[in-house]
Amino acid sequence: MKSNVACSLGCLAISMVAVLCPALPIVAQPEKSKTGSYVKVHASADKPNAVGQQIVTVFLDIDDKYFLIGNMVPEDFEDARFQVRFLINGKPAKATISYPPGNVTKEKALGPYTIYEGKLACKAMIQRRVEDASPIEIAVSMQGYPKHRSY
C-alpha cells in the first residue's frame, strides 16, 4: 500500500512530481493507489527571503477511516516511513523539515512508531540560491492502512 503522492501547479504532472512556484498554493494529483485515494495533499510556499531561505508547508488531509505510518519508525519499518523531499532544477534541495509529532503506537513485533491521522502539516525551510525563482518539486512518500482492518 505504499504510495508516492506529488503535486503540480498549473499543469497535470504525468510524472507525479510536484512543482511549486514561490508564494503560490498547489493542488495534489495523487497516484492511483489505495493510500493516495485516502489522503489529499497540497502545499504552499512563502517568497524566499534576502538570503534565499524559503518556507514551504505541505498539508495532508487523511480520511477519517485511514491512518498513515508516521515519520518515527523502527528500522525494519523504514520503507513505510512518511517522508517529504524537495528538488530544485532536478537536484535535491537542502531542507530542514519539521514533521508533526503524530500519535505513538506500539506493536509487539515492531516496537513503538508514530501514526498520522486527520489533518496535519509539515513545515520546511528550503535553502536556495539568492534570487533563484525556479519551481520547487515536492515528493511525498507514504504508506497507510484502514483504521479497522482484520487479517
- In this predicted model, what pLDDT tens digit does every residue of 106-116 receive, in sequence order? 888 778 999 99
**Residue 8 CB partners (closer than 8 Å, separation 6+):** 17, 18, 19, 26, 27, 29
Place of cell 517568497: 47
**What span, in angstroms and rounded, lies between the C-alpha atoms of 29 and 14?**
9
Cα 54 to Cα 73: distance, rounded to the nearest angstrom: 28
Q: Is residue 83 part of a domain?
A: yes
pTM across the whole model: 0.75
Residue 125 confidence class, pLDDT cut points 50, 70, 90: very high
Report the distance separating Cα 14 and Cα 35, nearest Å.
18
- Give tens-digit pLDDT for 84-93: 999 998 899 9
What's the confidence (pLDDT) of residue 144?
87
* Domain coverage including residue 84: 2-145
Residue 9 has pLDDT above 60, yes or no: no
Domain CATH code at residue 40: 2.60.40
Q: Is residue 14, in this structure, part of any structural domain at all?
A: yes
Q: Establish if 150 belongs to a structural domain.
A: no
Look at residue 17 and tell me whether its pLDDT is greater than 70. Answer: no
